[in-house]
Amino acid sequence: MPTIIKQLSIFLENKTGRLTEITSLLGKAGINLTAFSMSEASDFGIMRVVLSDPEAAQKLLTSHGFTVTLSDVVCLFVPNSPGTLSEALHILSEHNVSVDYMYAFAMDDMARVVIRSSDIHKCVEVLQNSKLKLAKASDMYYF
């Protein structure tokens, strides 16, 4: 399914300098970050990143001692206007697709929402059947 995007999740201890290290490693390797979010517990956090070459990034970070895993997410486009997100989420809940987490950013006329669901295939199907627009994986990566 070309709409499923590989997201990188990185285990991070709450230690100064770890984020700098990650971004600098990726930067030097010419890997571009498209979106990311940080989720944190008191002593550790998980950084989730959509980037231009997830496999290469995973290899690179693992070789530098980071703990990394890949998970499937989708990126949904919704018009940047009131009520549109609610509409999309309504469709998902109607079809019993639960959302584990999401992160988003809106600017100009479109908002982009990264969604992780434990049933990602159903999530894609439901959203596409409802004529909602999903980003293509190929738009996210460049090889």
Partner 1 sequence: MIWNESYECMGREEMREVQNKRLRTTIEHVYHNSPFYRAKMQELGLTPMDIESIDDLVKLPFTTKTDLRDQYPFGLFSVPMSEIVRLHASSGTTGKPVVAGYTRKDLNTWSEVLARTFAAGGCSRNDIFQIAYGYGLFTGGLGAHYGAENLGASVIPISAGNTEKQIQLMTDFGSTALCCTPSYALYLAEAIEERGVQDKLKLKVGFFGAEPWTEAMRKELEKKMNIKAFDIFGLTEVIGPGVAYECSCQHGMHINEDHFLPEIINPKTFEPVAPGEVGELVFTTITKEGMPVIRYRTKDLTCLNYEKCECGRTSVRMSKIMGRSDDMLIIRGVNVFPSQIESVLMEFGETAPHYHLYVDRENNTDTFDVHVEVRPENFTDEMSTMLNLRKRIEARIQSVVGIHASVKLVEPRSIERSTGKAQRVTDKRNLY
CB of 69 to partner 1, least distance (A): 6
CB of 15 to partner 1, least distance (A): 8
Q: Which two tokens stand for residue 81?
A: 């206007």
Angle of helix 120-129 relative to helix 84-94, nearest 10 degrees, comes to: 120
CB of 114 to partner 1, least distance (A): 12
Q: Which is nearer to partner 1, 12 or 51 (CB)?
A: 12
Interface residues with partner 1 (CB under 8 A)?
7, 9, 11-13, 39, 41, 43-44, 46, 48, 62, 65-69, 71, 100-101, 116
Q: Look up tokens 């693992």; give the residue.
A: 62
CA distance 44 to 42: 6
- CB 13 within 8 Å of CB 21: no
CB of 71 to partner 1, least distance (A): 4
CA distance 131 to 107: 22
Q: Which is nearer to partner 1, 5 or 78 (CB)?
A: 5
CB of 21 to partner 1, least distance (A): 11
Q: Which is nearer to partner 1, 78 or 120 (CB)?
A: 120
Of residues 135, 103, 139, the one with CA closest to residue 3: 135
Q: Which is nearer to partner 1, 35 or 78 (CB)?
A: 35
Q: Which is nearer to partner 1, 3 or 9 (CB)?
A: 9
Output phi, psi for 109, to 5 deg.
-95, -5
Query: Which residues have C-beta within 8 Å of that of residue 84, sequence separation ≥ 6?
Result: 78, 111
